[in-house]
Amino acid sequence: MKDLAGKHVVLGLTGGIACYKAAELCRALVKEGATVQVVMTAAAEQFITPVTLQALSQRPVYDSQWDAREPNNMPHINLSREADAILIAPCSADFMAKLLHGRADDLLSLMCLARPLDTVPLLLAPAMNREMWAHPATRRNVAQLTADGATVFDVGCGDQACGETGDGRMLESGELLDDVIAFFQPKLLAGQHVLVTAGPTYEAIDPVRGVTNRSSGKMGFAIARAAREAGAEVTLVAGPVHLATPRGVTRVDVQSARNMLAAAVECAPAASIFVATAAVADWRPAHPAEQKIKKDGSGAAPQLSFVENPDILATLAQSPRARSGALYCVGFAAESQDLLANAQAKRRRKGVPLLVGNIGPATFGQDDNALLLVDEFGTTDMARDAKLALARKLIAEIAARMKAGIK
C-alpha cells in the first residue's frame, strides 16, 4: 500500500523560483498514491507553465476564480471540499501575509479562506530569500498562521537563487513528501520522547580490522521514522551504517558497544520509551593492537582473547526510571533458530515488558522483515512486510500497551 493512497491533495503554487521543485513534488505525490489537483497564482506562472503541472498531475490546472469549467462558477468551493489537504509549495512571503489577513483576491487565497477548517488542513512550505525569512514581519506571520491552525514546514539552508546563502530555501521534494506522509500518520506518541538504538557495533581488533555483524540498521531507522511520524521527539543512537537520518530525528553516531551504552545512558533521562533495535556485539577483543597486526610468514594466526560487552538493554531496563514505569523498554532479538523460545527467554532475562524477535539472517540488509512480539500474555505474529510498515505497526502496539498501562 502506498503511503498516500486514497488521499486527494490540492497543490498550490505561488510565485518563486522554487516552483521548479513543485514539479518534482507533484510527481512524487502521485507516485506515492495521491491524486493531485494543482492551483497556480499568476505569479507562479511566471516561473513554470500550467502545461508542465497538468502533465505531471494528469489533471487540468486551475488558475482563476472565474474558471468556466465549473458549472456553478465556484472552483474555490468545489476544489477545497474535495481535498484531504491543501499544500502550498512554494509558499511565498507575500502569500503568507495574504493568508494571515484573510485576503482572497485570487483563486488560491480564496480557496484557502473558504476551506472547511475542521476537515481540510492547510500545509505551507515557505520559500524566500534569507533576509525575508528572518524579517520580524515574516516571523510574526509564521507564528500567527501556526496559531490559526496551519502547519508550516521547515525551510532548508543553503545556496539561494539570488546568490546568497542561508535559511529560506523550500525543502527538497523528497523532504516535503516525507513531511506530508508524516502529517497524515496518527499521532499516537504525541508528547513522548523515544530513544532508539540501531545498526551494528564495531569492536576494533587493530586500527584497520574489527568485529561486527551484518545488521544494516534499516529496522531501527524505520522505527525512529515511525515514532517521529507518530508525534514523538526521537533520538537515534546509530552504529556504523550508511543510512540517511529520518526527517526530524536527532542522531548520535557511535562505533563500539561501549560507545553506544554511554550515548544511550546519556540520552535515557529525557526518554519515555526505549527501543533497543541495535545488533550489539556480545564480545570485543580484550586487547586491541595499537598497530596493524601483520603476517609473519609462519602461517600462524594471531591469538585473540575476548571479553563480554556491557548489556545496554538490561542496563536501561534495570534502571530506576524503568523500574518505576517512567521508561518503557522494548528489546529486539535477532536469532538464527528457535525464535519463540529464545525470544521468551531473552525477555525474562532482560526484564522488559515487550521483546520483538526476528530471524537475523532473513532480515539483515533487507527492506522487509517479519516480527514476533512477545510479552507476559503471549505472542503476536507480524507477517513479512516492508520494514517501515512493520515499524508503524510496532509503534501502534507500543502506544496501545502504554495507554493500557501494560508493564
Exposure string (b/e) for 225-235, b if CB count within 10 Å is 16 or more?
A: bbbbbbbbbbb
Residue closest to 225 by CA, chosen among 259, 257, 260, 185: 185
* Inter-helix orientation angle 218-229/173-184, to 10°: 60
Choose the catalytic residue: 26, 112, 162, 267: 162
Q: Which three cell numbers stand for residue 297?
A: 610468514
Does residue 157 have an active-site annotation?
no
Pairwise CA distance, residues 217 & 205, whole Å? 22
Let me know: does 252 contact 235? Beta carbons within 8 Å.
yes
Pairwise CA distance, residues 222 & 218, whole Å? 6
**Cβ contacts of residue 98 below 8 Å, gap of 6+?**
105, 109
Q: What are the C-alpha distances in Å from 17 to residues 21, 27, 46, 126?
A: 8, 18, 9, 12
Q: How many CB atoms lie under 10 A from the CB of residue 288?
A: 16
Q: Furthest-apart CA pair in the chain: how many Å?
A: 91
Helix (H, G, I), strand (E, B) or coil at 348: helix
Helix (H, G, I), strand (E, B) or coil at 208: coil
Residue closest to 125 by CA, chosen among 77, 147, 101, 93: 93
Within 13 Å of residue 256, how many CA atoms lie on the same side as its CB?
15
Q: What are the C-alpha distances in Å from 395 to residues 106, 182, 236?
A: 43, 14, 15
Residues identified as active-site: 162
